[in-house]
Structure 1
Amino acid sequence: MQKGSPVLTAQRRDLLLDRLRRDGRIVAKDLAAELGLSDDTVRRDLRDLAAAGLCQRVYGGALPASPAVGDLAARRDVAVGSKQRVAAAAARLVAPGSTVVLDGGTTALAVTRALPPDLDATVVTHSPAVAASLVEHPRVEVVLLGGRIFKHSGVACGAAAVEAAERVSADVFLLGVTGVHPVAGLTTGDADEAAMKRTLARRAADTYVLASAEKIGAASPFTVLPLSDVAGVVTDVPAEHPTLVDLAAAGVPLVHA
């Protein structure tokens, strides 16, 4: 497409989505100059794409939207194999005799199934589903943090849950997010859930991110933590993926599943 040529709205938006997939971000000013369009035109297109859930707007442009922001039922069939591989690697981070905080979500549920059946450990969680799954592990002590249940993700959030979490001291936190991006950091789709995750991270010596394939290179509206605050990102995405290359260059430890 030559600079200055007329571009129909549908063509522009297809191009924007293609650039997001290819480059992992859009800088509105640069793309407008390349296409001979006004900055306002590109920003308007990005607003429309964001309203349709197709991108995540950030200052100066946009990032790919995470497909992991749907409710639990919708997420069960997303990247199932990737979640199982990440869960198996994350389960190896749980040492016998340790205290582990396990987040909610479908990858966390996969972790419970990947834990050795004879594991002797304590698992703290704010997910009733994760707690129920761990009942099948006879030597795992399960501590369920209570509070208002955020039905979208099936986890306890709010003041009561935060107060309960602040009484916990753990060796490891296995953190679930919906986006892992070298610019946006670690993100999720709800502000209260993000706050709860930050509280849990503060209560553990080390935090590892459960990063299945659909989360790598994506972003959501609310920041959980900067990447510098975690001990590692557990993922099965190939090391040559552009996002992983950028994370490694920034010094983020990667745990390959």
Structure 2
Amino acid sequence: MLAAARKELLLERLQRDGRIVAKEIATELGLSEDSIRRDLRELDAAGLAVRVYGGALPASPAVADYAARATVAPNSKRRVAAAAVALIEPDATVILDGGTTALAMVEALPRSFRCTVVTHSPTIAAALLEHAADVFLIGGQLFKHSAVTSGAAAAEAASRISADVFFLGVTGVHATAGLTTGHPDEAAMKRALAARAADTFVLASDEKIGAASRFTVLPLDEVAGVIADADSDLPAMRDLVAAGARVIPAGGVSA
């Protein structure tokens, strides 16, 4: 089998099964594990897969820059945002992550709604200018790829916050890889924010479910729920439930 055909097959298996075990696929195809690992390295380098111990996981399309992400699954993000806003109690203190789904939450939040929003995203803070919510912006070095602050100064500021709920944006939601994102500093900042909230809910539009990125944010059992916009019969969704995740469909009914 030619390398191009092997890679196409590997991508099909990632799409179908949500993961590849190098040893198993090598045995099935009658090839060496080294050949499969080489293919997976090349798929990883091309941004089409994420290599993990023993194989690979589907790569998330949500690791593109901020402007590009705005065009990915906008309707799905709006549905997730509406379900997330419905979880906010009046006068609550909310930590809102950066990203395009969080921005959709601001658009869904009634302008007269009273609450306090803490964010490390200048984009989110600016979008709240016409809202009744009080807004606190965490400073630090601006990570331009995602339009959020990160680094030591931002983490120090986060350590002084106490909130009722954190709405977490990630690029991958996978039953075995957990909650992932594409940059280590961003992952660390997300963990710092999650540690300051009583509950953390994950914003999971459809392109993120069953996908993974390079850096772990949190395991599934450390969040209160995953607000997901995907068919509950999809294998990736069934795997999340089997892994013990509390899945909140965008329609608002817990699974």
TM above 0.5, yes or no, is: yes
Displacement of 1:206 in angstroms is: 0.2
Q: For residue 71 of structure 2, give the secondary structure of its aligned residue in structure 1.
A: coil
Q: Which runs of 4+ in 1 moved over 6 A?
A: none
Letter in 2 for 1:196: M
Q: Which residue of the other structure, out of 45, 53, 61, is the alignment partner of 2:55?
A: 61
Aligned length: 250
Q: Give, in whole Å, the separation in 1 of the partners of 2:13 and 2:127.
A: 41
Q: Does 1:175 align with 2:168?
A: yes
* Residue of structure 2 in register with 1:51 after alignment: 45
Q: Give, in whole Å, the separation in 2 of the partners of 1:235 and 1:41.
A: 36
Q: Give, in whole Å, the separation in 2 of the partners of 1:33 and 1:208.
A: 40
Q: Does 1:10 align with 2:4?
A: yes
Q: Where do residues 1-257 of structure 1 align in structure 2 (5 Å cutoff)?
A: 7-137=1-131, 139-257=132-250
Identity of paired residues, percent? Answer: 66
Q: For residue 160 of structure 2, give the secondary structure of its aligned residue in structure 1.
A: coil
Displacement of 1:249 in angstroms is: 1.6
Q: For residue 245 of structure 2, give the secondary structure of its aligned residue in structure 1.
A: coil
Displacement of 1:250 in angstroms is: 2.1
Q: Give, in whole Å, the separation in 1 of the partners of 2:57 and 2:176.
A: 9
Letter in 1 for 2:48: L
Displacement of 1:81 in angstroms is: 0.4
Displacement of 1:251 in angstroms is: 1.9
Q: Give, in whole Å, the separation in 2 of the partners of 1:51 and 1:118.
A: 47
Q: Could you list the per-position Cα deviations for residues 183-218 of structure 1 after superposition, in whole angstroms to 9, with x for gaps in the alignment?
A: 100000000000000000000000000000010000
Q: Give, in whole Å, the separation in 2 of the partners of 1:22 and 1:254.
A: 21
Q: For residue 142 of structure 2, give the secondary structure of its aligned residue in structure 1.
A: strand
Q: Give, in whole Å, the separation in 1 of the partners of 2:37 and 2:167.
A: 36
Q: Could you list the per-position Cα deviations for residues 160-184 of structure 1 after superposition, in whole angstroms to 9, with x for gaps in the alignment?
A: 0000000000000000000000010
Q: For residue 49 of structure 1, give the secondary structure of its aligned residue in structure 2.
A: helix
Q: Give, in whole Å, the separation in 2 of the partners of 1:251 and 1:24.
A: 17
Letter in 1 for 2:13: R
TM-score for both structures, normalised by structure 2: 0.97
* Residue of structure 2 in register with 1:3 after alignment: none
C-alpha RMSD of the superposition: 0.5
Q: Give, in whole Å, the separation in 2 of the partners of 1:84 and 1:55.
A: 27
Letter in 1 for 2:188: A
Contiguous gaps of at least 5 residues in structure 2 = 251-255
Letter in 1 for 2:149: A
* Residue of structure 1 in register with 2:253 after alignment: none
Q: Give, in whole Å, the separation in 2 of the partners of 1:252 and 1:125.
A: 25
Q: For residue 176 of structure 2, give the secondary structure of its aligned residue in structure 1.
A: coil
